[in-house]
């Protein structure tokens, strides 16, 4: 899968790993995206839910081994399909 394709795809339910983040506590952590807003992901990990700002992190989508900067994802989920590049 190409980076552009994943940016335009449904992300809820995908497993992600934080490759880089302005908050060093997030680096290397992984979980499943269970909700999404324009600026955040709600990630479930170890039966705990944490919200992370998209534009502060770089995400690795494990199954596809794709790395995407969160700033490319800062759209409402329903708008991302039309606007993201």
How do strand 57-61 and strand 30-36 relate by DSSP bridges? unpaired
Higher pLDDT, 23 or 6: 23
Domains of the chain, earliest start first: 3-83 (2.30.30.210)
Residue 10's nearest CA partner among 34, 30, 26, 39 is 34
Collect all residues with Cβ–Cβ distance below 8 Å to 12 and sequence separation of at least 6. Answer: 33, 34, 35, 36, 77
**What CA–CA distance (Å, rounded) separates 25 from 27?**
6
**pLDDT tens per residue across span 24-71:** 999 999 999 999 999 999 999 999 999 999 999 999 986 667 888 998
């Amino acid at each position: 899968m190409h980076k552009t394709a994943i940016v335009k795809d449904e992300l809820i339910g995908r497993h992600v790993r934080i490759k880089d983040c302005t908050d060093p506590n997030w680096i290397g952590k992984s979980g499943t995206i269970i909700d999404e807003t324009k600026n955040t992901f709600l990630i479930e990990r170890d039966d705990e839910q944490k919200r992370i700002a998209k534009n502060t992190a770089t995400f690795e989508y494990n199954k596809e081994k794709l790395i995407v900067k969160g700033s490319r994802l800062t759209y409402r989920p329903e708008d991302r399909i039309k606007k993201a590049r």
